[in-house]
A and B are shown apart, each in its own frame.
Chain A
Amino acid sequence: MITMKKLLLIFILSLIISATKAREKPSVFSNMTLNGYLKYMNTTMFNDLDSVWLVDNLVHNRLNYRWYINDKFTLAIEMRNRFIYGDLVKFIDGYAKSIEEDNGYFNFLTNNITDGSSYVLNTAFDRAYLEFNSDNWVVTLGRQRINWGQAFAWNPNDIFNSYSFFDFDYEERPGSDAVRIQYYPNFTSVAEAAIKIDKDNNITAAGLYRFNKWSYDIQALGGIIDTSDYVVGAGWSGSIWDLGFNGEFSYFHPQKNFSDSSGVVILSAGLSYMFNNSLNVSIEGNYNDYFDKLNITSFNDFYFMPLSVKTTSYSKFSWFGQITYPIHPLLNGTIALMYFPSLGNGYFLMPSLSYSVSNNFECALYGQIFEGKFGGQYDKITMLFLRFRYSF
């Protein structure tokens, strides 16, 4: 812990030095960049307006640091620092501990600096990698984001780190502790192989080839996921007339008792269109064979489901629609709706408004309403988020 704190201090000091020196004459620091954001978010959660309101606060800082060592080597370190205080910390058992959870092999990179009954201060390095670029090759070593998704709401091809649509406040996603080799045979194709190891020493190892043909980006992938399953999949991005058309599917088959067991298919496909007035409409459908094995018994199971590519959707079929419209050039409005027939015709509704206050300052209001049958019991949860973001 002490070494961790020292490491943190050294890192932050070097960041400050690099930020101040960057503007001066060329030196080692002129090859470094630092950017990020500072956010404050207020979360309010209740079942009904008349029920108890739980209010939580989050001060969230992100630092993205790059050192362009030379033409071939780049070092990237990115960290998020969060100070969370309020009712959720107070009332949810083991909340601080769950914040400190890190599923990566290098799980010492996430730490609670201090915590009490109503607060927790957490720091996490979610990127820490060295990238080597030479000719058509790129080798990336360390904690990194490997994003293989092509669809919008659900990404069965995103086998290294899956995405939960609900957690809109963390679009960067956690990194994977991995080695990744990419080879670019031409300007719009890539062949890559990656191997990731998690905190339980489970291994995900897979290869992907993506190429551009018939005005489509097409990808195929195959490998082993979490040591337990074989996975094969494919994805595409293209258009039908002027409609954007993308999707992806993956087939998972347990390695154990290969011939006796059956596999599962997860498939997502969607269409999108932007009208002349910048109104953007997207729809997507998802099929998940795995849903009946999820064993959702409560809303918490559903919302805090450990993220695996198999658990990114919760219903045999799921439907998604989203409308985005710039009500004013500075004010963007979005309404997203998900429909889960297998959760007692449950739904998830997420309206949001974001307002650009100045070049680097934004304020936004999000709502999330969930209603559905979780483990035989109807539940309804409403959440409101008010967020201020300053980017630098």
Chain B
Amino acid sequence: MKKNVLLLGLILSFVFANAQNATEIIKKADDKWNGEKSSQGIMTMTIVRPTWERTIQFKIWSLEDDYSMTLITAPAKEKGQAFLKRGTEMWNWVPSISRMIKLPPSMMADGWMGSDYTNDDILKESSMVVDFTHEIIGNETIDGWDCWKIEMLPKEESAVVWGKIIRWVSKDEYLMMKSEYYDEDEFLVKTELGTKIKTMDGRKIPSRIEIVPADKENQKTIVEINEIKFNINIQNSFFSQQNMKRLR
């Protein structure tokens, strides 16, 4: 009898695990990537074109979906520039001219520092969990990882710059292996690939993200995570205009 109950429990948990709701999967993958509460990282972004490359290094701090801060540490000309996001508003501190610039909304879809990464990606203006509806539309294997294929459609009231996102999340470890971003006319804009899976701060994550624009061959932007810490002790008050000027 006991054995049977145990077996039933096992079967049930298995069934439920498989029938996980798509939103939960996205949330788990998102939490794992961003830290459930907060994170702090050092990253290198390389813009790769057939005949040239440019590199930007930055530090990033984030708390929940609402707060983030980015400090550019290279190249020398941009070093010290900081970006603050609080809720839906963003500021850019430019130390060379000592000016705090409030960024207008139309800047959000623009490539960050000339890359294939948008300001929206960097500052996480929209939440992958809250601002979209999610549905599992298949199972596929990416780089040897068995993945759920999930379709994400923006909710009407959200200020999302995308028309649709298709995301592949591994069933083991909840890794974001691949994402396709479509515009409002359903044309593919860019593909994001997670590679170089590593254990960083105790969790397995892709340590390298490649962003490949759809309409441009031989172009990509690579974001390499040099260092990352999850769920650090960081307060809402860290994300202030006063602190923005003091980051190093």
Interface residues of A (CB under 8 A from B): 33, 35, 37, 68, 133, 136, 138, 144-147, 149, 171-173, 182, 184, 186-188, 190, 212, 215, 217, 237-239, 242-246, 272-276, 278, 326, 329-330, 356, 359-360, 362, 389, 391-392
Contact = CB atoms under 8 A, between A and B. Distances in A.
Interface in B91-110: 91, 96-102, 104-107, 109-110
A283 to B, nearest CB: 13
Interface string B71-108: 00011110100000010110100001111111011110
Given A237-B102, A329-B114, A392-B76, A136 B242 contact: yes
A188 B98 contact: no
Contacts of B79: 35
A362 B77 contact: yes
Contacts of A330: 52, 54
Given A171-B97, A212-B89, A274-B110, 18 more contacts: A33-B248, A133-B246, A144-B98, A147-B97, A172-B96, A172-B97, A173-B97, A184-B242, A187-B86, A188-B86, A217-B100, A243-B104, A243-B106, A244-B107, A272-B104, A274-B106, A330-B52, A359-B55
A106 B97 CA distance: 21
Contacts of A173: 97
Contact of B89 (A184, A186, A215): A215
Contacts of A172: 96-97
B237 interface: yes
B9 interface: no
Contacts of A359: 54-55, 74-75
Given A184-B242, A242-B106, A359-B54, A391 B76 contact: yes
- Main SS of chain A's interface residues? strand
A28 to B, nearest CB: 16
19 contacts: A68-B248, A136-B242, A147-B98, A149-B99, A186-B240, A187-B239, A188-B240, A237-B101, A242-B106, A243-B106, A274-B104, A326-B114, A330-B52, A356-B54, A360-B75, A360-B76, A360-B77, A389-B77, A391-B75
Interface in B172-209: none
A270 B165 CA distance: 36
B55 A242 contact: no
B43 to A, nearest CB: 16
A173 B96 CA distance: 9
B104 A242 contact: yes
A366 to B, nearest CB: 17
Interface centre among B89, B96, B98 (most CB of A within 10 A): B98
B98 A276 contact: no
Interface in B223-248: 236-237, 239-242, 246, 248
A391 B77 contact: yes
Contacts of B76: 35, 37, 360, 391-392
Contacts of A187: 86, 236-237, 239-242
Nearest to B75: A359
7 cross-chain pairs, A with B, having the tightest CB-CB distances, nearest first: A244-B104, A187-B240, A391-B76, A391-B77, A237-B102, A145-B98, A184-B242
B47 interface: yes
A239 B104 CA distance: 6
Nearest to A272: B104
Nearest to B56: A359
Nearest to A332: B114
B240 A244 contact: no
Contacts of B86: 187-188
Interface centre among B55, B77, B97, B101 (most CB of A within 10 A): B77
B198 to A, nearest CB: 26
Nearest to B89: A215
A389 B78 CA distance: 13
Contact of A278 (B54, B110, B236, B240): B110
Contacts of B114: 326, 329
Contacts of B105: 239, 242, 244
B49 interface: yes
Contacts of B237: 187
Nearest to B219: A329
A19 to B, nearest CB: 13
Nearest to A78: B96
A217 B104 CA distance: 11
A88 to B, nearest CB: 26
A274 B75 contact: no
Nearest to A356: B54
A188 B99 contact: no
B80 to A, nearest CB: 8
B47 A329 contact: yes
B89 A273 contact: no
Interface centre among A173, A186, A243, A274 (most CB of B within 10 A): A274
Contacts of B47: 329
Contacts of B88: 215
A197 to B, nearest CB: 19
Contacts of B241: 184, 187-188, 190
Nearest to B236: A187
Contacts of B104: 239, 242-245, 272-274
A278 B119 CA distance: 12
A274 B98 CA distance: 23
A246 B104 CA distance: 10
A172 B94 CA distance: 10
A286 to B, nearest CB: 19
A144 B97 CA distance: 11
